[in-house]
Amino acid sequence: MARHSLISDLHGDQLVRLVAEAKREVVLIAPFLTRPPISRLLDACPAEVPITLVGRFLPEDVKVGVCHLEAAELLIGRPGCTVRASPVLHGKMYRVDDDYLIGSANLTLRGLGWASASNLELVVPMERSKILDTFEISVISRSEELTLAGIRDLQARVRRLPEASFVGLEEHSADTVLWLPRCYTPEKLYAVYAEQDARKILASAAAAARHDLEALAPVPLELGRHAFESWIAGALEAHPVSIWVRAQAHDGVEAEAAIEQIKQLGVGQPDTTPEQQWEIFSRWLLHFLPRLFLEEPVATRIVFKPHS
């Protein structure tokens, strides 16, 4: 196995390269995992190679967004793949055939170095050993297979948890995205990404879109519009504001409450008010996640409710 620099190389890129070379099997073990990294690893893995994914999948983890059930569903729908839940899991181990990556990084954008505000993680390539074999056997034996029925049960348990504000979420979330979009016209984001029709986009809008793409980097190269918007949707769904909005699903979200949450997040631009930031963010929700959110006028206010 090639040895890559632990300082200059992104941990996620190391893992993608390793998974792309898989011949027999891939085993991914991490307490926290989110949809965008799992999707990227699935794209890299040869279709005939089976994958075993083990995460904690506690209802509380799902509630705050550090475990995405959508990530589990991606694997459950793939032939030969298995998802397992281990509530006591803390270690991280990634095995491809007989090669390993061991360290502190979870399968999240921040953990793998794919977010603008990534964590400082240590990831070390290792050869197969009895200790690693024993750890893998122990993890598998102390976990349960997660099926689609199990996911539905988890979703019901999550809904029964008390509603949580994302204030202080960064302390708990391995994938908090400390960024708010600037591009007021999200429908033009793909044109800037693909360098299309530049003359039809205002310079200020193009600059805002480039800022957002840089904040979301690394966005995979040469995606078609549908794949690009699906990728952005996955990243947006993991955002603390999106998580908070979804947590209010029963009653919907009024603009005033969302603006207050953005103020508490404490991330923004000096030339943009929280009111403007929410207006932009709400446009992104409606454009990239129409399956989850809709706009409903209430007097002069805006309420967001997930689709039923």
In sequence order, the β-bridge partners of residue 141 are none
**Per-residue confidence (pLDDT) for residue 3, from 0 to 100:** 39
**Per-residue confidence (pLDDT) for residue 255, from 0 to 100:** 81
**Per-residue confidence (pLDDT) for residue 306, from 0 to 100:** 58
Low-confidence ranges of the chain (pLDDT < 50): 1-8, 164-177, 299-300, 308
**Per-residue confidence (pLDDT) for residue 167, from 0 to 100:** 38
Q: Where does the chain hold its CATH 3.30.870.10 domain(s)?
A: 11-160
Q: 240-247 and 274-288 helices cross at what angle (nearest 10)?
A: 80
φ, ψ (nearest 5 deg) of residue 177 = -100, 105
Dist. CA 193–CA 207, nearest whole Å: 11
Dist. CA 173–CA 79, nearest whole Å: 31
**Per-residue confidence (pLDDT) for residue 49, from 0 to 100:** 97
CB atoms within 10 A of CB 151: 19
Dist. CA 156–CA 153, nearest whole Å: 5
**Per-residue confidence (pLDDT) for residue 158, from 0 to 100:** 85
**Per-residue confidence (pLDDT) for residue 303, from 0 to 100:** 63
Dist. CA 280–CA 285, nearest whole Å: 9
Dist. CA 57–CA 76, nearest whole Å: 14
Tell the CATH superfamily of the 11-160 domain. Answer: Endonuclease Chain A (3.30.870.10)
The pLDDT tens digits for 18-38 are 999 999 999 999 999 998 999
**Per-residue confidence (pLDDT) for residue 110, from 0 to 100:** 82
Which candidate, 231, 219, 240, 122, places its Cα nearest to that of 176? Answer: 240
Query: CA 96 from chain center: how many Å?
Result: 22
Predicted model pTM: 0.57
The pLDDT tens digits for 166-218 are 433 333 444 444 678 999 999 999 999 888 766 677 888 888 888 888 877 66
**Per-residue confidence (pLDDT) for residue 81, from 0 to 100:** 95
